[in-house]
Every structure is written in structure tokens, then in C-alpha cells.
Amino acid sequence: MRPKRLEMIYRTLIKEHSKNPSNKRNLEDTTGEFELFNPSCGDLVLVQFKLEDGVITDVSFQGQGCAISIASASMMTEIMKGKTLVEAQNLINTFYDLVKGNKEIDTKPLKDAVYLQGVSKFPTRIRCATLSWHALEEGLEEVEKE
């Protein structure tokens, strides 16, 4: 596919996720949650999750922000359900590598989040894309310490 065409698909998918995000809801009886703010853009995201025997059984987010931050949170919550803590951390690390422009990674497990690859060309947007992933990472770390 020509790069122009590919970029259009990226943009459409990001728009779809930001307009109609998955798992944007309040979660009851959470195991943990973490809120993060991105001052450079004004994005605010709260990630909530439930853990059972070291497996993420549910994950949601709430907040407001730019299309990239909302789309990324939607994409993140879609792939985390059913993952163990180790699997979740691996996915988070893979996503960080992706938006940093690392091309030597297996991006398949990231599913739709792969379409955020384009932000690697815009350093100021990397924080928008990684905000919800950082929030989940911090939240899981807090629970693990307990």
C-alpha cells in the first residue's frame, strides 16, 4: 500500500476510536486505578481495572483529551482484558517501543494500537498516545506492591 493511503486508514481508525471509544465507563469494585494528566496537551485519563489471580478481568477508562489520547485508551483497554500482569507489562513495553519508532518489534499483539505508530514522528504527541498505558502501568505497580 502507498504510504498516503496507509496514513488515511490510520487517521480513520484513530477518529473512529476517539468518537466511539471502547470501555469508556466507570468500573465498580476495582482492584486498582490510576489517573494521569498530560499538561502539554491537557489530556486527563483515569484507568480502572479488576484483577483476579493475577489476570486482568476487566479494564476501563474515563477522561477527556485529544483524539489520540482517547483513541489510544480505547485501543489499550481492548487488548488488556484476560492478560496476566506479565503479559500486560510486555504489551505496554511493546507499545512504548512502537511509538518511539522501533521497527524491530512484533506489533501483532497490539491490534488496533498499531495504528498509533505514526505519532513517533511527532514527539509532542507521544505523551498523548502513552498516557493511558502509563496509567495502567502505574496502577498495576501500586497493586503489586501491596
One of 33, 43, 58, 137 touching Zn ion (CB under 5 A) = 43
Helix (H) or strand (E) holding 61: strand 55-64
Residue 112 found at the interface with Zn ion (CB under 5 A): no
The helix/strand/coil state of 107 is coil
One of 13, 44, 55, 66 touching Zn ion (CB under 5 A) = 66
Residue 130 found at the interface with Zn ion (CB under 5 A): no
Tell me if 77 sits within 8 A of 139, measured CB to CB. no
Part in contact with Zn ion (CB under 5 A); list of ranges 3-11, 28-36, 66-74, 100-108: 66-74
| Cα atoms in the Cβ-side hemisphere of radius 13 Å centred on 128 | 23
Count the site residues for Zn ion by CB under 5 A.
6
Residue 67 found at the interface with Zn ion (CB under 5 A): no
Q: Order the strands of the 55-64 sheet from edge to edge.
A: 32-38, 43-52, 55-64
Q: Which residues bind Zn ion (CB under 5 A)?
A: 41, 43, 65-66, 69, 128
